[in-house]
Structure 1
């Protein structure tokens, strides 16, 4: 038998198993593609379910927060309505309050409309955890809406339900942001299997209830893949996600026709590959008949090894062409292994980076939500503190020495502490701008030593070690003092039986500040105690706002968040090290200043006698106006009060003469207080301005004097007089 015949038989002998192998490979490939499609659909479904649950969580948190309002507990529905309007402002949501039979208020209605309205029979009322309900036609909007209901907190059984409503378009937007396999359809259903959003014809199917096996499986809380038929009659392989906390689920239906096309494509590819292999084998057989068969068999073996992701060895067959092919196969195997290793490394790095980015995003969202909440609370609370403090100061001026005077002084000190607490909340919420300056750390520690020594008490020993010749810090001194007091208080409270606290100041090592701004020097301030220390779980939550391990009523959970907020807003960082039984060390890294520390300002001498002024006062809060106005009039000033910047503008346009404009920042109407100041700077540059604010998201005008609520009477009088003197305005005519 000739070599050609032997090679031809060998080719057919090799080809037949290869055809079988291609058939098995085609089946395996189809199964792998189907598994990949299943995995892709499952991942999309879980992602959609997570995002939808997160959107519901946002409204549930808002509803639970409002359900714990003191105004609701006191039955002050008008104040509760104001709080609810502030909470939902700009979010696209609206809030309402119901009891078991009536709708008591709704932020969609005018502010003064608090007329109760009857609820439909059998309307939802929750007594436990928040729940989400779908209404095909809302009474006010006359269209489908979703509502998150939360029971009144602190009262059992609850008297009210607080609801936060939004349109199903929010869920439709989540669905529209994702990409789905060709021909598939995705839906979000609620706990009653109503279609809330759908990737195909959403308007047609909104509010329709799922049917058949999908409905049964959703009611039973099942998940996974199963054969089903969509609402529009398409046989599909459908994936049902696990129900979320609110018993919502996601359905993704993949048409069976799409999987059938994939099977046909893989079969054709297998047939084409087997035919190509036969032709190659016949060609090689004809060529090998002219040479020897050994190099051919050797090359075939090398090719098989390469196909199995192995590195074939270099061959020396005596045929140069075969040896060159062998060398090429060897190099290809090496490159393939290197490429595989590099790809695995890059995939691992990408997964790690994605996880870190997701963690940073969630942390930023949490702090942003806290910041918005604290900012809104600060505005209203500072107005209340302004009213209380100003009224107490007016009474303090009128009451002589004695027990009543001491009571008023105690109340004034309490309002000062409340104002400090608001500033602390704004600091960790990043809603209050810092005022950094050069601070000598050694002098600063000496000046605060008496205060910190009294704070630790007799059982705890406090010592400080500050390196000599340190550069100055560039930090807000008030916030730094508060941060150090917070750290000392925490260390003291951790050692009720006594111990030792060490305050250390030194120049930070470059390795410690590697993640901070390059080219910047940093100082490290450390406060360490020898108390019981913390476990890993407590350390992970230590910097979270309102987290505290102290008993109820002894800790607010704002100390360490304020320290971290000060450090990061100043361009530095704060870190905590602790082990159970080994104490705790908090390291505060703050930027060094390139300038010397600022010396204390010299005394200005005796105050200059004030003159009567014509004041244009703009204040929308009637409580604040009720105490500030008589205080100014009592000093002999002529005050014109306006309730809005729009009203004040009309007064100025009428040509009425004034010596000073005194305005709040946040105002109803078209103009804010800062808008009014800007208008005066352009049209009445000779009119001096003083601005007061409890909190404002708009940056204060740097050309106007700024008073932060609550301010004292003397501070206000001094600011007004200084503004008038700086502009050299002629005194008012009597």
Structure 2
């Protein structure tokens, strides 16, 4: 016998005793259906209350946008009025400014200069109860200018951390009617929105007729009592017997009421109970031939199959069994075959997965190694190219000097050497951007001053067909940076923008004070200065963007760019504890944004263009000059002697410490920071400050990862000017 026949007989035998229990369940189904209907209605009315609050939240968001406008902050009500009329056109909304006492200062529906009327809303009463902060939502009131039922949302406006005004937006109550109509409720249902006093604000049917009227006293009493939600059986304002489901919105404290006719509520439960009864009667007629023997015969092979399937899940070997039921025997054989194939496939899969993982790891290591070598090769090749040009200039000029008797010609060659050194200094400054921050070059500056200092260079870098647009606020937040690196970053970004606009266009440089949430752009949350450079040029593809920050990567011709512009700007941003963000699309221009953290201190004013004149007066006291590089030591010993200093040289920190311990009358220590041995420049300075507090210390560095946090220690950045050294030592 086929399993289909056996299962049919089993079902018939089970249904016979189940009919009795099912009859008892008819009433239970009816009650549960009613409960489900009530639960669904409660959820629907709660959702409607949240939708009403969402509309009010949209009004609150608009108000907060208006409150943050410069016109509001500056008290320019005329400009604010125009802005408010654009955001909230007078034909359907009004924006009102009041003082803290509730007197209207501006009404966007009135002409400019007109005396604002006194509001008829209960916003100030609600404000007294809620406190000066937060958002309050009015009850229904008659607008004094629009002469129609309105509702309003009010927020405080803070200036310099204190509440100065209250800003409110009012809209006609009829604008909330679509919120109820658009829910697609059945024609017989009525959705109503009431205020705290039980007055109808909006209604899905006959809204104009019932707006402003109070709901029935019994329901109003429950609303006034502060019930958050509930079910009420009564009569609507239009005289229909209904069950009303109500819920109070959390933000506005308004109440949404969903009225359903009694017949509509009872009908689904009656239909469900009737259908279930009919099904029971039908099953009763079909279950007259139940057979317990067939059920037991059918269950045994199926139970055996269950145990077989469990063994298959545990990975155990299986053997087929014979039960006399064709389908069960076929399944048993299939399970046994499947178990064998699964074991074989698992072994093959494990082997292939292991091979694939090993191959993927090898490929990943090879890819990373190739990328590192490519970037390193491009970096070293670029450095070698630029420094070879500098060395060629120095070599040629120095070889010509001994062969030239003309002093003017010698002076010109010396100036050529100085220009080559300046070019090398610029290149090392760009390369410094990829290292750690250098204390010798850090300063807390006013970014507006730094931008104005580099402005002449920016203008000179742009042709006549490119317009430079500056957007710099009066008081941007100070930042702690390397000022020269910031100027170089701005110049590099403007030059990149220029090269992206061969036919001309517009370059914008803007500074903004902004607050970033935690994790934005990979930065900790807090106050940041945003420096943005935008252009209207050709933009960059995604492939170019992926490599744009790599040193010496460039899409320009050989003589048109070094490939260090964007990497230098990125290095400057990261050294300053910020970041750089690129945003570009082909044909849509490019925006480069640098985020710099706000400095804790105040900006230090810097004198521009002042050159230190060497002071050749005799100096007092012995200077201990510590430098491990022989060439630098020989050159600077001659320079210090020329400046009138009594100098003693040391080649390491240990040697310098020995001179001090010998009792030599050292008045000042001038030391390099990075030196071989256990005692570097920073360690030597700490020892001198501890053991010889009367000895002054000047440190020089070309590059170091050591932080110098020693009060009273003067830092010089290599290459330093000799006159600057004289001044530091004097």
Give TM-score scaled by structure 2 length.
0.48
- Larger Rg, first or second structure (1 or 2): 2
Give TM-score scaled by structure 1 length.
0.48
